[in-house]
Amino acid sequence: MCDFGFIRIAAAIPELKVADCRFNTERINRLIKQAVEKEVRIICFPELSITGYTCGDLFLQNKLLEEAEKEVITLLEDMKDLPIVYIVGAPVRINNRLFNSAIVCSEGKIQGIVPKSYLPNYSEFYEKRWFYPAEKGFPKEIEYANNPVQFGTNLIFGYQNKKFAIEICEDLWGAIPMSSHHALAGANLIFNLSASNELIGKNEYLHSLIKQQSARCIAGYVYASAGWGESTTDIVFAGNGIIYENGTLIAQSDRFELEEQLVISDIDVERLNSDRLRISSFRDAVTDGEYLFQTLSALKPKEKPVPLLRPVNPLPFVPTNESYGESCDEIFSIQTLGLAKRLLHTHSATSVIGISGGLDSTLALLVCIKTHDKIGISRNKIIGVTMPGFGTTGRTYNNAVRLMQSLGVTIREINIEAACKQHFKDIGHDPEVHDVTYENSQARERTQILMDIANQMKGLVIGTGDMSELALGWATYNGDHMSMYAVNSGIPKTLVRHLVKWAAETQVGEETARILKDILDTPVSPELLPLGDDGTTSQCTEEIVGPYELHDFFLYYTTRFGFSPEKIHYLAEQAFEKKYSPNEITKWMKIFYRRFFSQQFKRSCIPDGPKVGSVNLSPRGDWRMPSDASDTLWRIE
C-alpha cells in the first residue's frame, strides 16, 4: 500500500435549515457521497451541523435533541459502507447536561464524541445558557445513538502515523488552544467544527490564528464554519472552509456564497512528522498524557496513490510571487551582513573575487557591491579578477569585463593558459588529453591567483560557488571549492538565477541591467575545455550532470524532509508533469544520489558562508553526514 504520506481531507459547508435535523442530515449525506467520489478520506462539517448552531432555547426542547440523535443513527446506517471518516456536530445529552459535541463516525459506528471545552458567553454568544463545558480527564464511555461511545476531549483518532483530534470553535481562541495539547499527544491533523459569525476584520484575524496554530503545532488544520443558512436576527454567517498545513494556506472556500461548498486538499502528514522529528523543541514538549487512541481502519492507505489536488512547486527554493521582491531583498541582506561581519572582523582592506561572466560570480560580485556600500568601503577596493583560459568564450569574457566596469570595481586580467601549460609540463601531463587533470588544473590555478592577490592586497577571497554545486560535488577540490568566505554557499542554482534577475530589474542602472540579462541568457558552463571551431563552449553543465531545477528539487526534499526516492520521484512527476518524463526523472535522480553521497568529502571542509534558507549543507550547521556513507538503500529504491 502506498499513499506517500498524503491524506485527502475536506471542509464541508452544507446547505442548512435551523432546527430541521432531517433536512440538514440529507445535505450532509449528499456532501459525504460527493467527497467519497473525490477520494476524500476525512470530511469535517460545521459546529452543531445536525441541528444548526443558532437554535437558541430550542436546544432545551426534547424534540430537537431526540431528532438530532435519530438523524445521527440514520446517517450511520446510510454511510456504513462508504470508505470515509466524517465528523458532524450535534448536541449530546448526558446525565441532564448538554454538550456541544463533535461526533466522529466511520464504518457504520460512532468512533468517539468530543465535547467543546471553552464556551463563549460574551457579546452575541450565550452558549453557557444551554451547554456544559467539557470536563477534564480521561475519556469515559457513554451510550449515544444506540452505541457505546468514548466521550471526552482526550481522544485521538487515526491509522498508524495519521492521527487527528478535534477542537470546536472557541477552543482555538483560548489562551492555550485545545489543539496544542492534542498535537503534543501525537495528533498531526486538527479538525475544527465552528460557527463563527462575520464581523469586519474578523476573517483576517481568524486566518492569523489558524496559520499560527498550525505552524506552532506543526500540524494540518482543517476548519469548517457555518454557512449563510445560520444567518438570523442580528448575526450573519458566511461559510468558511479553511485548510492550513504547518502555517501555509493550501485551500479555502469562497465566503458569502449561497451554494454549499466542499473544500478539498491533500495534507502531507509525512512532511509534518519529519519536521516534528527534526525540531527538538517540539520533541522536548511532547507529552504522554492520558489520551485514548481510536484506530480507524477506514484510513488504511490505498493500493495506488491518486494525483494530488494540491500543486507541487517545481522550484521549492525560489520565493513565491506574493513575497518575491521582499524575499529577494532579504536574501541579499543576509548575504551582505554575513560578508560585512567577516570583512570588518578580519580588518580586510579589500575583497578579491574571480569574475567569469557566469551567474554565480555575478551574484557574488553584486553581494560584494552591496556590502562595500553598506560598510562605507569604496567599490574600488573590490578586486575583480578575470582569468581567461582554454575554454573562455568571447561572450563570457566581455560580460565579465563590462560588468566590472559598470559597477566601478578594480579590474585585473590574468590569462592562465601559459601557467597551466607550464604546470602540465612540470607534472608530465599531455595537454592534448582533456581529462579531469586538464580541467582541474585550471580551477586550481585560478584559486591560487586569487589567494595570492588577497595576500598581496590584505584582503579576502570571496567564494562564488553555490549550494547546488556543493550538493553534486561539481567543484574542484581546493580549487573553486575553496575561499575565505563563500557568500553563495547557501544559495541553490535555481535561486541564483532569480536573484540576479531581481537585481537586474530593481537594483542597478540600465547599462548594468543589460549586462545582467545577457548573463542570464548564457548557458551554464565551467568553460574548461577548448572552444569549438565556431568559438562557442563545448561544455554545458546541465547536459553532463542534469537539469539544476531537478537536482534542486531532489536536494530540497532529501535534506529538508528526508523523503524516500520513491516519494520524491512521485512529487517530481507532479511538479514537472509536462517537462520531464518519469524515465528522465529516474535518470537524473540516479546521478543525484550517486554524486550527493560520493562527494560529501568536499562538503565536510567547505569555507564559512551565510545560511539563507531552511536547507544548508554546512558541516557546522544543517547537514552532518559521514563522508563515506553508502548510497545503497537510496540507489536500490
Residues marked active site are found at 47, 116, 169
**Are 241 and 223 contacting, i.e. CB atoms less than 8 angstroms apart?**
yes
C-alpha cell at 90: 450535534
Of 362, 570, 545, the residue nearest 469 (C-alpha): 545
- The identity of residue 227, as a single letter, is G
Of 617, 271, 337, the residue nearest 468 (C-alpha): 617
Distance CA 203, CA 439 (A): 60
Distances (CA, A) of 272 to 18, 183, 281, 527: 38, 11, 15, 43
* Residue 559 three-state SS: helix
Q: In what order do the strands lie in the sheet with 147-151?
A: 140-144, 147-151, 109-115, 97-106, 85-94, 42-44, 6-13, 261-268
User: What is the per-residue DSSP string for 499-541?
Assistant: HHHHHHHHTS-HHHHHHHHHHHTSPP----SPP-TTS--S--H
For residues 74-108, b (16+ Cβ closer than 10 Å) or e, as one string?
Answer: bbbebbeebebbbbbbbbbbbeeebbbbbbbbbbe
For residues 170, 175, 177 and 178, what is the CA-based torsion angle, rounded to 10 degrees? -90
**Are 289 and 153 contacting, i.e. CB atoms less than 8 angstroms apart?**
no
| Dihedral sign from CA coordinates of 234, 237, 238, 240 | positive
